[in-house]
A and B are shown apart, each in its own frame.
Chain A
């Protein structure tokens, strides 16, 4: 397996807060890498650094052999990295279909308007928004907006997908559906870097897991290795969800 994304020693400081501290990680072709850690560990900031929303204070980010450190975000998107935001960012005044068309037009393939609309329609169907393509994005439910984030990112036909808590706020049925969808995406050959708090999901989906705490890497390995790691358990002490997984490995 070859490396798709290599993050080397990146750091980011906000005022007095070291949000990310010399973090390195690698995402291989076709794999799902889970990124977990307590609230405020710096996970979303890592995504912001990867797709160029902020430049890192130090370190480098290499994607398919190209240095993409420091963005700008639209160039990173063109290289083939797409993202679903933790805090949904719908283009509220545009329809669901148009939101996805934007993704397809300006993503990795940079399609023209007509083929982009085709791709968008396909993705919208696959993600389960096919019954309301003309609805304005602003009037979707929260779960709908979450799906739209994912659909829009997929419409870009990325090589790497950054998923920031796409399961948060979904009910159990919706969660099941979303997990299935993520499997499908991986099977279509897209590598995924996913941030997730729902441990059962992340343990079953990920090939490998990186644990972040206070901005730096605490542990890395297979879901089983990570769950057995005593340091990880300490960092999460109080988070019964992980503890229960750690005690009775799934």
Chain B
């Protein structure tokens, strides 16, 4: 696997991404790169569902939020170090997704899509009513919590590096799955689930597995992100809007490709930054995102990379 130049390209890009703000010592740059990295994680993992298995998960943000809650709870209440706390959050959310997936993945198409929105709303409602996690006000970190990472300032840099690491892992995982038997089964499901089943693809198990897999890294990232923010509360943790933007990113960059979602996330972030500064647009963010999605779905369903691959088929060899 490591003989592939593509993988070295990903690793090299990640190193540049990680070190650039460090050497320029540009904190503003670091913050905007961090946000983009989080979106790349969300989009890249969502792509496992949309692009590979052909199932749209409107509530994908629930993994991120729940991972954040578990991590912050472990850090504040049990005084864990953030790394094991985030990883535990990831594992717990992933396990929960597996259980849940076995149930709701019996639903197809729109029913599954709707159920995923419901899952997000239901979990948000439960968390609002869950006192150990601070109910509607959420969980705050005190500055002591950053002690193990060498204080708050140092912790910002460390979490940045960790999030870039999770981003890299997301891309590598996407690659590994794409080139595995599991990935082939998922693609078959995405093309024609009934035919896949007749061919022997264990569809319920595979769907639950990919749902669970697509939960792990976003949950870890949620832990790191909210640890960095120092606060988590239900409305920011389970923000449906972010979920939906992740879908736009996947479709923009090219669903089913490995780099497409990352590209889409990056471009969308830039676009939004631009629109937010242009006063008259800030109100119309949802309209613009919706119109963008509409145009992509109608005219370039393969997204940017899909379009490139179609135009120049040879690029497929290099980018997949």
Comparing B17-25, B155-163, B198-206, the segment that makes contact with chain A is B198-206
Given contacts A74-B197, A156-B199, 18 further A-B contacts (CB under 8 A): A73-B197, A74-B200, A77-B198, A77-B200, A85-B195, A89-B195, A90-B192, A91-B196, A93-B187, A93-B256, A102-B184, A102-B185, A102-B196, A102-B201, A106-B185, A107-B199, A113-B179, A152-B199
What's the minimum C-beta distance from A27 to chain B, rounded to whole angstroms? 18
Distance between A26 CB and nearest chain B CB, rounded to angstroms: 22
Distance to closest chain B CB from A177 (angstroms): 24
7 contacts between A and B (CB under 8 A): A74-B203, A89-B194, A91-B188, A91-B191, A93-B187, A113-B181, A152-B199
Is the C-beta of B298 less than 8 angstroms from some C-beta in chain A? no
Are A94 and B201 in contact (CB-based, < 8 A)? no
Q: Is the CB of B194 within 8 A of A107?
A: no
A93 surroundings in chain B (CB, below 8 A): 187, 190-191, 256
Would you call B283 an interface residue if the criterion is a C-beta within 8 Å of the partner chain's C-beta atoms? no
| Chain A interface residues toward B at CB < 8 A | 51, 53, 72-74, 77-78, 82-83, 85, 89-94, 98, 101-103, 105-107, 110, 112-113, 116, 152, 156
Partner among A53, A94, A106, A113 whose Cβ is within 8 Å of the Cβ of B200: A106
Q: Which residues of B contact A (CB under 8 A)?
A: 179-181, 184-185, 187-188, 190-192, 194-204, 256
Contacts of B185 in A (CB 8 A): 102, 105-106
Question: Contact between B188 and A94 (Cβ–Cβ < 8 Å)?
Answer: yes
Closest chain B CB from A50 CB (angstroms): 11
With a CB–CB cut-off of 8 A, which chain A residues contact B188? 91, 94, 102, 106
CB distance from B271 to the nearest CB of A (A): 28
Separation of A93 and B199 alpha carbons in the complex (Å)? 16
Per a CB cutoff under 8 Å, which of A91, A103, A110 touches B187? A91
| A92-B256 Cα distance, complex, nearest whole Å | 14
Nearest neighbor of A134 in chain B, beta-carbon distance: B313
Q: Which residues of B contact A116 (CB under 8 A)?
A: 181
Q: A107 CA to B187 CA in the complex, in Å?
A: 16
Question: In whole angstroms, what is the CA distance A103 to B200 when docked?
Answer: 7
- Per DSSP, chain B at the interface is helix
Q: How far is the CB of A168 from chain B (nearest CB, A)?
A: 18
Pair B181/A112 contact, Cβ less than 8 Å: yes
User: With a CB–CB cut-off of 8 A, which chain A residues contact B184?
Assistant: 98, 101-102, 105, 113
Chain A residues with CB below 8 A from B202, complex form: 74, 106
Select which of B180, B194, B199 is within 8 A of A102 by beta carbon: B199
Contact of A78 among B180, B191, B196, B200 (CB under 8 A): B200
Q: With the chains together, A116 CA to B185 CA distance in Å? A: 13
Is A51 in contact with B181, judged by CB distance below 8 angstroms? Answer: no
Give the interface centre of B185, B187, B197, B200 by most chain A CB atoms within 10 Å.
B200
Measured CA separation A18–B258 after assembly (Å): 49
**When the two chains form their complex, are residues B199 and A77 in contact, meaning their CB atoms are under 8 A apart?**
yes
Complex Cα–Cα for A95 and B59 (A): 32
Best-buried of A78, A106, A112, A152 by chain B (most CB within 10 Å): A106
- Distance A77 CA – B181 CA, assembled complex (angstroms): 16
Contacts of A82 in B (CB 8 A): 199
Q: How far is the CA of A7 from the CA of B202 in the complex (A)?
A: 24
Nearest A residue to B256 via CB reads A93
Residue contact A73 to B198, C-beta cutoff 8 Å: yes
Contact B194 A94 (CB under 8 A): no
Closest-by-CB residue of B relative to A117 is: B184
Q: A53 CA to B199 CA in the complex, in Å?
A: 12
Least Cβ distance of B204 to chain A in Å? 8
Q: Are A72 and B197 in contact, with the CB atoms below 8 A? A: yes
Residues from chain A with Cβ under 8 Å of B256 in the complex: 93
Q: Is the CB of A106 within 8 A of B201?
A: yes
Least Cβ–Cβ distance between A125 and chain B, in angstroms: 20
